[in-house]
Every structure is written in C-alpha cells, then in structure tokens.
Structure 1
C-alpha cells in the first residue's frame, strides 16, 4: 500500500482551513475523506473552528452535526426512489399522470420521475413559498404546496433542457409519500439508513431540533428572528415542518463519508443493500442524456468543478447551500466530505466556491 505523508497533508489542510477561518468563510468545518489502496481503506477526519462565531460556541468535533441542505436530494430522495423502484411501486419513466392521484395541469402530465430526478422537468429553480406556507395549518401544508408548485409556469418543455430545481425534488418527496404510504423521513430511516447502522448520525425527521452543543449554527430565521441551530436553514423546508425532498437532512462528516463509502462498495459489487440492488444503484448514477446530471447526483464539470482537478469522469457528488459537499470517485475508490456552516457568517458564496476545489486538490494529490 502507498505510504501517505499524513503530517504534510495535515499541514497543508491546516494552512488552508485556518486561513479560511480568519477570513470568516465559516465558523467551523469538519472534513472526512478516504481512499482504497491494495484492498485497505485509509480514512481520516479533521475538524476546525467552533459551532458559531460568538455566544455559546463549542469546538467543532467529528460528532458535530451540520445542516446538509441539498445533500438531501441524492442521499435521501434518490435513494428513497430506489427503494420504490425495487419494490415495483414506481418506474423512472412513469409520467405524473400515471403515478399520481393529483389534479394535474395539462403541461405537467408528461413530466416523468426521470425528469424530476435529473432537473429536466422545466419547473423553476426556487420560489419563496415559506412567506405564506408557514401560516398554513400543518395538515394542509403538503396539499397547498403541491398545488402551488403544479401551478407554476414551466421554464421549458420537460426533457428539453436542464435547470436545477428545488421544486422538482419537493414534488418527488410528495410522490414518494403517496406511493409508499408513509412519510418520507420514516421510509428513508427504515429502508435506507438503518440497514447501514447510520441512523444515529444521519438525521432526517420532522420538527426535530438538536442540542446546540452538538450542532453547527447557520443563520437567523427570517420570520422568528431566532438563530437556527439544529433547525433546517432552508426557509421552504422549515415552513414544511423540517422535512422535504429537497432539504432537511442533518449529519456528521464521518457519517456522510460512511454512506459514500457504502455507495462505492455497492457500486463495485463488494457490498449489497437490502432495499435496492447494486444494478439499480449503478443505473441511478449514470448521466441522463447529455446533461451533467445523473439521477439526483451531480457530475464534475471539466475545468470548473467544485471537486477540483483530479476527480475522474466517473465521479458523482453534490453541494449544499449551507456550505456542505461530498464527492465520490468510483473509479479511484475515493470520497471526500466537506461540511461547513458558511451561511453563518455571510451570504457571499464566492469564498466557499474558491475553497472547495483547493481542499479537494490538496487531498487528491496525496492519494494519486
């Protein structure tokens, strides 16, 4: 097995991360990564900073929970869809008119599950539904939100283009619940994450708040004014009750890494999952058409990827608005998870955009 100069690797990461802390890119970060060499998996987790800039701050630890934001899309929603496909309850080619009991406008009937997962449905990227949704009675929220989304004008005909869409994944969450007969969080915990024994460290549950000492702080709630800690940062998801097809997942960096490692092992045929086959997982990880998207997972954009310069074309990953990301290189048996609370200090996304590829490159140079 290749011998890694861990002291040098740690020194380079320390320099970059500590500089970012000084420049207020975030108040805290946990970085977990691993690679497989000669059948031996080498992994490390490093943590820096504090859960918030001031107040009752605590040191970031490997067991600190972060709001994973849109990492929910591939890690919760796509894998939950895999459960339904395996059970014969849904197909990727199913149109909404075939798989939903909803009243559908004519232009939405031909949208497929595949379109929603690959961001090619034509639905808008985002709408501030929270401004009216948080005043809707709890038992009416899902139906109201579903209706509002279906009333939106499409940006293009389904399947003709790509536009990253929270709205599409919110609909997927509702579809999963209708087909499964249980809430999205219940299905995911029982069928996806509990078999991997990660349910303690990857949390996805309605209206669940954490002990402030265990969670990195994000921002103030726009309607309550309270600082969000262990309560989902995404305004629409928070108004929905904390769980949605697009956001709501919390977790630790080592736990996200463990899930990524399992995806590698299953993709390679070295492990199985009791709820969906390895063949199905591999299909969901393939690019859809000519886009950069697989089914809920992103792929590297050559020359301009947050994954940096060294991840192969067989890599898949995703970013989260709160400052989170994971990238998996299936060809090289390597995964890197970077969790931060960058929204705690600034809405400026440029700082984290510059940092992500730099961190990935530092680690990958040592692995290659």
Structure 2
C-alpha cells in the first residue's frame, strides 16, 4: 500500500500524543489538495474529529476577526491607522496617549503580553465586565515606550475590540457578521456571547478541563480573560472550522488581487496585511515566519502570513506559492501542560511542501 507521507506524520502525531485530534487542510490557490480529520474531538465521550468540527480558534481571532474589523473601519474613513487610539478611547491617558492603531495591530504598543484580568472580572457584575477591561488596561504600565520594540500583546487587541465597538456602535460579533462574514457568505466563523447563545447545535472540539470553571470546556472560549468579559474579545473568542478559516484567507487574497466583483475591502486597505511590518515580525494583525526555527518550516517564503493559537490551532498562507495550510488541533485537551506541537508544526509544514512538490523561489 502506498504511504501518504503527510497522513503518516499526522497519525504519528496521534500516537505520540502531540494532540488528541486534528483537522488538516492544505490548499493550492482556491483548491483543496488535502482535507482530513484525525483522532478524537472529545476523549471523554470518544467523539471523533471530522472535517466539520468547530474549534476554539484562540489567538487566530486577532488576524481573522480583529484585523478585518479594523480594516473595514479604515476603509470607511472612520478611523486612521496612524492616529492615536486615544482619539477614540480617551480613557487612555499618560503613557498610552501616543499609542497608534497601527502599533496595536503590529504588537509595537509597549503593552505587556498578558495580565490575569479575570481575577478582577470574576468579582464584578457580568454586565460590568466588558467595560471594566478598558480601565484595567489603562492602568497597566507599559513595558516599553510605544513604537520602540515588538512585544506580542493580547492587551493591544483587547483595546482594539473596544475601539471598534465604540466607533461602529455595535458589538464586535455583530459588526463582523453584518459587514464581513455575512457579505462573504461565511457561516462557520462566529463568537458566542455568554450566556445568551447556545452552542448545542455545533460539534465542537473539546479543550481543557478548566480548574477555574470546574468543568470540561466544550463550545465556550478557553481564554479566561475573554470568557469573563462575556465570551467575545479582540484577542480570543472566535470559533470556526478549517474550511471557514481557509475560505476567509482565500477571499482576502482574492480581494487584495482585485479578483472579486463586489469586494468587502479595497486593495489599499489590505496592502498592510500582505506587506511586512516595521520590523518584519508582524504585518497588521498577522504573524510572519521567523528567520530561524519558524513554525511554518523551511519552505514558506518570507512573504507568508500566518498565526498560532494557544489551543493548538494555526494557519500559514504563502502568496508566493499560493499555498495555504490550516492545522487545527485540540492539543490542550484535556490539559495544557505539554506543547509537543511546537516541534511538530515545522515538521508537518515541511512534509506538506515536500509531498506536493511546492517550494518558494
């Protein structure tokens, strides 16, 4: 029997407990070259993973939700990338008044990577929590002056969520559904605003048994800051399938190439996503391959954009070869304490490019 090298490595990942389950999608242009599901979506119920399984996309929320939402407001002339966020969020005072929207998107705001805001939020009325986050960020000292260093930060994207909602006059999930996902006819990218929306109609990949909530998380956001803020935020909270992630990425590419008759975005507003940032680490909301030991492996070009998520999800898209790889796993299920996926990701990306004979020039 002929051995499929990609399939063989994914099966090895299951045996080595890199992840309990996964969905892998490989695309060339708009065509799906490979789409397969592996292992278990839930170890306790023995529910199998399928290509339609919905994943907690964790930090993929940043490029797949927050960056497009900001881009839409820029396109409309409602905000400007190089204006201070404080123009729309006057609560930002002192050392934060100069932070621009571009710096927030490129992780150059000077804000720290993470703070345990949920420790404060859990003691507040649920109706007050979302707004309280803005005050918590405003009182958090900067690590570096704005624009002087790159430091990956959840807090910057939490700020962007509140800025978008204030300017748009509606919730982030409604803005995305009405202005971006809806017009693009993407049904399987969505948020759950707790506790009003039921997740019972979707087949979710289970994530962690959460010691804070004392239950297995299935269909509720894994990130505690996002969960205690209501389930919707700029750094986490988006759920979706591998196909939905792939379709959004391909649609953004097509619009950037002016191949869509009725585009949601202008080419000009998408340029900063597909071009390098000020230090080549990030474009607007998207990651870039590291010069050494990139999770994208050896074959993705320096023009590629991608992102990783804590729950075990990732995508990489290379405009040079027109290859997109979406790898969604539930590696934190049932506990987060190992991360063998760090070593596995570059291996599977290399195996994909080798199997399909794809290399950047």
Please give the range of the TM-score, normalised by the shorter of the 2 chains.
over 0.9
Verify: 1:158 aligned to 2:146, yes or no.
yes
CA drift of 1:140 comes to 1.4
Q: Which moved more, 1:289-298 or 1:340-349?
A: 340-349
Verify: 1:46 aligned to 2:32, yes or no.
no
Give the 3-state SS of the residue equivalent to 2:95 in structure 1: helix
Verify: 1:78 aligned to 2:98, yes or no.
no
CA drift of 1:289 comes to 1.1
- In 1, the alpha carbon distance for the partners of 2:231 and 2:86 equals 28
> Does the CA contact (< 8 Å) of 1:264 and 1:333 recur in 2?
no
CA drift of 1:221 comes to 2.6
Verify: 1:179 aligned to 2:148, yes or no.
no
Verify: 1:108 aligned to 2:101, yes or no.
no
- In 2, the alpha carbon distance for the partners of 1:99 and 1:303 equals 38
> What does residue 137 of structure 2 align with?
149
CA distances 1:187-209 after superposition (whole Å, capped 9, x unpaired): 0111111111112x112231245
- In 1, the alpha carbon distance for the partners of 2:103 and 2:53 equals 35
CA distances 1:197-235 after superposition (whole Å, capped 9, x unpaired): 112x11223124523870110012332201000000001
CA distances 1:235-259 after superposition (whole Å, capped 9, x unpaired): 1001111100000011111111111
TM-score, normalization by structure 1: 0.92
> What does residue 203 of structure 1 align with?
190
The alpha-carbon distance between structure 1 residues 242 and 42, as it changes in their structure 2 partners (threshold 3 A), is closer
Where in structure 1 do 4 or more consecutive aligned residues deviate above 4 Å?
A: none
- In 1, the alpha carbon distance for the partners of 2:291 and 2:23 equals 26
Question: May I ask how many residue pairs the two structures share in their alignment?
Answer: 355
> What does residue 4 of structure 1 align with?
none
CA distances 1:86-118 after superposition (whole Å, capped 9, x unpaired): 111101011023222x33321110000011000
- In 2, the alpha carbon distance for the partners of 1:26 and 1:252 equals 17
Give the 3-state SS of the residue equivalent to 1:131 in structure 2: helix
CA drift of 1:335 comes to 0.4
Tell me the C-alpha RMSD between the 2 structures: 1.8
Gaps of 5+ in 1: 1-6
Verify: 1:26 aligned to 2:19, yes or no.
yes
> Does the CA contact (< 8 Å) of 2:93 and 2:138 recur in 1?
yes
- In 2, the alpha carbon distance for the partners of 1:240 and 1:273 equals 35
Which among 109, 118, 122 is matched to residue 134 of structure 1?
122
> Does the CA contact (< 8 Å) of 1:24 and 1:345 recur in 2?
no
The alpha-carbon distance between structure 1 residues 129 and 272, as it changes in their structure 2 partners (threshold 3 A), is farther
- Correspondence 1:63-102 to 2 at 5 A: 63-100=52-89, 102=90
Gaps of 5+ in 2: none
- Correspondence 1:1-368 to 2 at 5 A: 11-36=4-29, 41-53=31-43, 55-100=44-89, 102-199=90-187, 201-207=188-194, 208-211=197-200, 214-271=203-260, 274-348=263-337, 350-365=339-354, 366-368=356-358
Give the 3-state SS of the residue equivalent to 2:42 in structure 1: coil
> Does the CA contact (< 8 Å) of 2:85 and 2:97 recur in 1?
yes
CA drift of 1:348 comes to 4.1
> Does the CA contact (< 8 Å) of 2:274 and 2:303 recur in 1?
no
Q: Which moved more, 1:290-299 or 1:168-177?
A: 290-299
CA drift of 1:284 comes to 2.9
CA drift of 1:274 comes to 3.7
The alpha-carbon distance between structure 1 residues 272 and 120, as it changes in their structure 2 partners (threshold 3 A), is farther
